Structure 1
């Protein structure tokens, strides 16, 4: 916890009418770059709110999900603000686990939130979380390696285009791998990527009667294509790689291509951190030839307040600041416009300072708007969600399936065995939960 001199002086000094009471709120968050950056900019918040202190608890993605889920479900009250995603918000809101945010001040400009992002955080006309950043996913690639290979990346590539480029860019002796993709098991790690990829292959998680679909040609196509790409052209040890590990590999110049969150764009193009900053190109997430769905997802990391916190007002003050236009302007003044949290506000994409500084801005917005949580597949589905299924059981099922696919990537089981196991365990859990007989 950072103790700020100004906050300390105000606490120790006398305010009009007596000593100012200090409130400490505990914020659980993810160890992503944008969240780490915010922790370094807290002086601005403390200057405006000397009576509020923030105690940060920063965790790796899978750990964060586990901890906050346990905390909110048991009403343990460890955290006053939780970093959660588009999956949890409507489910937890429906359970009465989150404080509705219906009384935001006019200055917050809630109508400026991108419709696709806002709708994912809204249930029965109540907003239950504020988006810190929003994202879809797309293809990031090395322009210099594509040029060297004599290839041009289409703006809307097929998986065939991707395989051809991966083969041409791979130079294992030089430590360059044609493609880097998530391999770490988790419903929000490898399964975020593979679920979106399966949509682009024409597949789906469940049919209209909630029967799991891992025994279909589409899922077989998805997993075998993924394993071929990774085994032939991917880095070693990929079954341990999630978002942060692949980001580091790409910044070090070891990946020819990386399909992942659009939020990564500012980190791979930042010359302070990325050796290949001036060589990065962008394209849509791939699709299968003949299938009218790209493999891009829709997500927002959001800040929400668990019901039952004793510090609701201080928590609201903090999350309004952290997701405001003013915070965006603060990051721009310190780090440059290209590095502001993306994907949440219409005004950002209408701001020429941002669009001229961020070569990825247009494609990010296009990817966000192209993702359709109500119709994620070309086939009919009984669920909403692009890279997840918006039912409470998905967190456990998605992670268990992710473990099977990660084991296949590590060479411990075959693709067929992984799909068979995924089908069996998903059927078992859906029967137990009463979706199927």
Structure 2
């Protein structure tokens, strides 16, 4: 009887000790975007919690809302988030402000040399990395090869914007709910302007000249936006101003779109028969070009995990960032979700993996698109900025969103292309003047 009581006491003490240790482990609040790869990260994170005892509190938001919340929090040092999912645009700007922790100490097993150099360089400032790449992307053209075969069309290796418009018209079948093309229409610098920024580059335009004078009323901008409005109104789906990356991905995967020009990161989902009704009917080629600039085709972007300097849980946060962006995590996704779903564009070892090569026939095209995109030389004419589908200055977030809203209004039939661009020119000139450009 005495032994039983003693055993019970020891068990109680042990349980109390374990509970105390669990209570000592911090809870991390993570802000992330509601894209498919991040949903998988959240799904697999219980393994991290079990292995480390660290608890995770997820704040999953639509892209525009996420950016607004994070920008406000980090600029005011609010400390609401311990880990933030941020883009290639924010990383060097916020690092320069001293808002992000350096991530050069994620452990010996992290293998920094395995990171694709172009991606790592875009997240670095003065030789230090300030965000860890979760997935990276360029853009390319998705298309339904069955619809092309039916229409007697052969997609070239580098289609032009003129050809894309012609193809969209030939494969549109609105009676059967098939639209020739789906493009982003939701307003935002990272939504409709991500695509339109690269289109303007291809048409020979730029956001600013070498004197930082806005160029939105120049002919290349008019040509690019007119092309976009014409093809979307003629061959695009209804209600396009509500469609961003996720919405168009769903339309394409359900067989509603004949073509879709967007992020290469979507390939893993539309090629997955568990998520796509047309997985066996699709093919990929480069983003469109023009005669003015046959190289200005895709964009360059990465979603990354960063730690704000306002966190009080830096060590625990670094453990999670190291876990979620490691080679082992890529392998975990491949084995649990299928290799076609592995996070793309960040690690060289992913593209050397036999399993990934077999599951993702688009992988070489994606890697080539990422490696050949040059953020330092994004346009035909010389420009004072870096960034392909964005301008790497703090003011661009507001500028791009305002212009995106103007063009979205034109897409909805509330304005003409010229009127939208004149409004965008005026607000951009005002913003740049208030910011003291040229500097």
TM-score by length of 1: 0.95
Deviation at 1:12, TM superposition (A): 5.4
**8 A contact 1:27–1:82 mirrored in 2:** yes
**8 A contact 1:293–1:377 mirrored in 2:** no
Find 1:36's aligned residue among 31, 34, 39. Answer: 39
Return the alpha-carbon distance in structure 2 between the equivalents of residues 416 and 293 of structure 1.
Answer: 27
Deviation at 1:15, TM superposition (A): 5.0
Counterpart residue number, 1:185: 187
Deviation at 1:17, TM superposition (A): 10
Residues 87-135 of structure 1, C-alpha deviations (whole Å, 9 max, x = no match) = 0000000000001112121210011110110011000011000011000
Q: Please show how residues 244-323 of structure 1 align to structure 2 within 5 Å.
A: 244-323=246-325
Deviation at 1:47, TM superposition (A): 2.6
Return the alpha-carbon distance in structure 1 between the equivalents of residues 22 and 330 of structure 2.
Answer: 33
Please, which runs of 5 or more residues in structure 2 have no aligned partner?
Answer: 1-11
**8 A contact 1:155–1:282 mirrored in 2:** no
Deviation at 1:263, TM superposition (A): 0.4
Return the alpha-carbon distance in structure 2 between the equivalents of residues 186 and 12 of structure 1.
Answer: 51
Return the alpha-carbon distance in structure 1 between the equivalents of residues 175 and 19 of structure 2.
Answer: 69
Aligned-pair RMSD on alpha carbons? 1.7
Return the alpha-carbon distance in structure 2 between the equivalents of residues 152 and 57 of structure 1.
Answer: 44
Counterpart residue number, 1:196: 198
1:62 aligns with 2:64: yes
1:111 aligns with 2:108: no
Deviation at 1:40, TM superposition (A): 1.2
Return the alpha-carbon distance in structure 2 between the equivalents of residues 277 and 294 of structure 1.
Answer: 28
**8 A contact 2:139–2:300 mirrored in 1:** yes
Counterpart residue number, 2:366: 364
Q: Please show how residues 83-94 of structure 1 align to structure 2 within 5 Å.
A: 83-94=85-96
1:47 aligns with 2:50: yes
Counterpart residue number, 1:224: 226
Return the alpha-carbon distance in structure 1 between the equivalents of residues 23 and 400 of structure 2.
Answer: 47
Deviation at 1:16, TM superposition (A): 12
Please, which runs of 5 or more residues in structure 1 have no aligned partner?
Answer: 1-8
Q: Please show how residues 376-387 of structure 1 align to structure 2 within 5 Å.
A: 376-387=378-389
Counterpart residue number, 2:353: 351
Return the alpha-carbon distance in structure 2 between the equivalents of residues 235 and 219 of structure 1.
Answer: 23
Greater alpha carbon shift after TM alignment, 368-377 vs 289-298: 289-298
Counterpart residue number, 2:8: none
**8 A contact 2:132–2:306 mirrored in 1:** yes
1:24 aligns with 2:27: yes
**8 A contact 1:98–1:307 mirrored in 2:** yes
> In the superposition, relative to structure 1, how do residues 228 and 90 fare at CA in structure 2: closer, same or farther (>3 Å)?
same
Deviation at 1:289, TM superposition (A): 2.5
TM-score by length of 2: 0.95
Partner SS state of residue 178, structure 1: coil
Residues 309-328 of structure 1, C-alpha deviations (whole Å, 9 max, x = no match) = 11000100001000001111
Partner SS state of residue 298, structure 2: coil
**8 A contact 1:207–1:381 mirrored in 2:** yes
Return the alpha-carbon distance in structure 1 between the equivalents of residues 98 and 228 of structure 2.
Answer: 39
Aligned residue pairs total 428
List structure 1 segments (4+ residues) > 3 angstroms apart after TM superposition: 15-20
Partner SS state of residue 78, structure 1: coil
Partner SS state of residue 302, structure 2: strand
Residues 139-193 of structure 1, C-alpha deviations (whole Å, 9 max, x = no match) = 0000100000100111211112211110111001111000000000000000111
Rg bigger for which structure?
A: 2
Counterpart residue number, 1:139: 141
